[in-house]
A and B are shown apart, each in its own frame.
Chain A
Amino acid sequence: MKNNKTPGFETRMIHAGTQPEPVTGARQTPIFQNTSYVFHDADHAASLFNLQTFGFIYSRLTNPTVAALEERLASLEGGRGATCCASGHAAQILAFFAIMAPGDRFIASNRLYGGSITQFGKTFKKFDWQADFVDVDDPENVRRALTPRTKAIFVESLANPGGVVSDLEALSAIAREAEIPLIVDNTMATPYLCRPFEWGADLIVHSTTKFLSGNGTSLGGVVVDSGRFDWAKSGKFPGLAEPEPAYHGLSFYETFGDMAFTMQAHAVGLRDLGATMAPMNAFQTLLGCETLSLRMERHCENGRRIAEFLEGHAAVDWVSCAALPSSPYHGLAQKYLPAGAGSVFTFGVKGGYQAGVKVVESCELFSHLANIGDSRSLILHPASTTHRQLTEEQREAAGAGPAVVRLSVGLETVDDLIADLEQALAAAA
C-alpha cells in the first residue's frame, strides 16, 4: 500500500508477513523445510554471526516460514517484533529467560491456567526464579507483593478456564511505576478480541496451538514485544541492557533499540534453549490466522448461547462465563473484550466430582480431551486432568474445583451442541 495508513485487522491477518515469495512468485507462503542457509562468503557469514546484517544462518534461530508467522502475529498484536517457539510453555520460558537472573522474582495471577502454575511454581524454581502468586482482582495485592528483585507481572487477559478477566490498565500502571514489564498471556482472547498493548502491556505470550492455529493440528508459542519498554533505565535487566559476553560485549538494547527483545529472544533464547517452532507448524498457524476473525465471532456466539442454556438448566449450579451479565467479570469483559468473551468457560454440576465426570463421559459430540481453541467442541473435567497436579486450594483458586466442567465451544451447529449437553446432563442427574 502506497500510503502509511495501517490496514485493518482482517487485511493484516491474511497479508501481514507474507508478501509473494519474490524469486518464484509463489503466492502462498512456502514451507521452508530446511535447516541451514548458504553464505555468500566468509565476510557475509561473519556479519550474520555478529548480528550485523539480516539473514538466516540456521533454523534453530530463524526460518523464513516461521519468520512470516512472527511478523503476522507482531502485526496483529500491534507489536514491534515476535519470536515463535515450540509451544506456549516454551514462550513463557523464553519471555522470562530474557529478563530474569537467578534469585529474581515475578508476580503471577493465582488464577492462571494450571499448566502455567505448575511451570512457574515448580519447574522455574530449578532456575532459582521465584513466582509470587497473588489474587490480581485487587491490583493492590500486586503492589503489596512487589520486591526489589521482582522483574515482571504476569497475567492472562482472559484466564483459562474460569472466565476471569484481568484489569490490564490498572495492572500496567503498577508495572510502569515499578519499572518492570507487564506480561500478558493472550491465548484465550486472541488479538481479535483483546489487544493488551493498547492497555499498556509490554510483552504478550500465546500458545498458538489454540485459536490461532484453530484446528488442533499444530503446537506452537510466541512472545510478542511491544518495543516500548525501556530495558536500560532501571538497571534491572542486564540480559538486555548490559554487554553480552557471547556476542563480544554487544548490548542488545543499545545496538537494537526497540528491536532488542526480539533480537535477544532469537539470538540468545532460541539459540541456547533450542525450543524452536517447526516450519510446518508455522505454515498451519499462518493458515489458521487467515480466518481468525470469522472463527472467533462464531466461537463467541456459540459460547454465549451455550452459557445461557446452561445457566437456565436445573442440573447446573453455576456458570462462570464473562459473556454472561451474572459474571463478576462482565464489566471488565465489556471493557477489554468488547467483541466477545471467548468460548472457553466453566460450569458447576450439581452432584460434585462424580456428576462432573459423568457429564464429560456422556457427551457424544463434545470431544473429551485436554486442549482448547479447536474448531471442534471440547469438554474436560479439570480437577481430574489439567489441574490434577495442583493442591485442592490451588484448584479452588483457579476455578477448577471438583464439580467444575470446562468447555471449549467449537464451530458446530449450536443446537446440536446444546442437545448433546442436554442429554449428558440428564445422564448425570
Chain B
Amino acid sequence: MSHSLAYTNKDLLAILQDTKTIAMVGASPKWNRPSFFAMKYLQEKGYRVIPVNPGVAGKEILGETVYASLAEIPGKFEMVDIFRNSAAAGPITEEAIAVAKKKGIKVIWMQLDVINHEAACKAEAAGLTVVMNRCPKIEFGRLNAELSWGGFNSGIITAKRRRVRLT
C-alpha cells in the first residue's frame, strides 16, 4: 500500500482554505523550535492552532492550552498536523481516525520528512484526506506568494492577479 506524495496546488489550497482549526501534535513551548515557528505563523494567518504535547499538558503555548491527546481537546478541529517522527505518526493517525467523527477531523497532515504510508492508507480508507512530507506554513506561504519574498522557487507560474483583502 502506498500513497502518492504528489499534491496539486489546487488540492493543497482547498485544504488550507477549508481548514479553520488545527490540532498540532508535537507543538513545542520553546520559541526557537520549528513547530513554534509554524504555530505562530499559522495563528497570524487566522488559524486557531491547538497544541498537543503530553509533556507540557495544561500549560500554554502562544496563548493556547496544551492538551495531552487529541481526544482531550474540547470542541472540533478539521486538521491534525503531526510534528513527530514517521513512526510516531502511526499511533497518532490511529487516534485521529478513532475520534475523527466526534471531532470533525477531515485532514491528516504530516510535516516535512514525516512519511508513514501505512497510516496514510488507513486514514484514506477512513475517508480522511492525507498530506505527507509538507509543512502547512511553507505551503501557505508558497501558494500565497509569500515564500517568493525570501527568494524561493514557488513553482507557481500565473498571469492572474491575486485578490488581496484590504482591511
A contacts, CB < 8 Å to B: 1-4, 6-7, 11-12, 15-17, 19-20, 22-23, 25, 27, 44, 47, 50-56, 62, 64, 66-68, 70-71, 74-75, 79-84, 247-250, 254-255, 257, 259, 262-263, 266
Q: Give the nearest-CB partner of A64 in chain B.
A: B149
| B17 is an interface residue with CB less than 8 A from chain A | no
* Partner-binding segment picked from B75-83, B87-95, B119-127, B151-159: B151-159
Chain A to chain B: the 8 pairs with minimum beta-carbon distance, closest first: A70-B151, A74-B153, A54-B146, A22-B162, A81-B152, A20-B161, A15-B157, A22-B164
Residue of B8, B113, B147, B152 near A4 (CB, 8 A) is B8
Residue of B147, B151, B156 near A19 (CB, 8 A) is B156
A55 to B146 Cα, complex, angstroms = 7
- Which residue, of A27, A55, A81, has the highest number of chain B Cβ atoms within 10 A? A81
B contacts, CB < 8 Å to A: 6-10, 31-34, 36-37, 40-41, 44, 112-113, 138, 141, 145-164
Q: Give the nearest-CB partner of B162 in chain A.
A: A22
A-side contacts of B41, CB under 8 Å = 47, 52-53
A254 to B86 Cα, complex, angstroms = 16
Q: Give the nearest-CB partner of A258 in chain B.
A: B112
A-side contacts of B149, CB under 8 Å = 54-56, 62, 64, 67
Residue of B32, B40, B112, B161 near A250 (CB, 8 A) is B32
Report whether B152 and A262 are in contact in the complex, using a CB–CB cutoff of 8 Å.
Answer: yes
Residue of B6, B31, B159 near A50 (CB, 8 A) is B31
Report whether A259 and B152 are in contact in the complex, using a CB–CB cutoff of 8 Å.
Answer: yes
Report whether B34 and A266 are in contact in the complex, using a CB–CB cutoff of 8 Å.
Answer: no
- Which residue, of B8, B153, B156, B164, has the highest number of chain A Cβ atoms within 10 A? B153
A56 to B8 Cα, complex, angstroms = 28
Given contacts A81-B151, A255-B37, A259-B152, contact A54 B141 (CB under 8 A): yes
Given contacts A3-B8, A255-B37, A257-B112, contact A23 B153 (CB under 8 A): no
Distance (Å) between the CB of A101 and the closest chain B CB?
A: 22
Report whether B153 and A75 are in contact in the complex, using a CB–CB cutoff of 8 Å.
Answer: yes
A283 to B5 Cα, complex, angstroms = 36
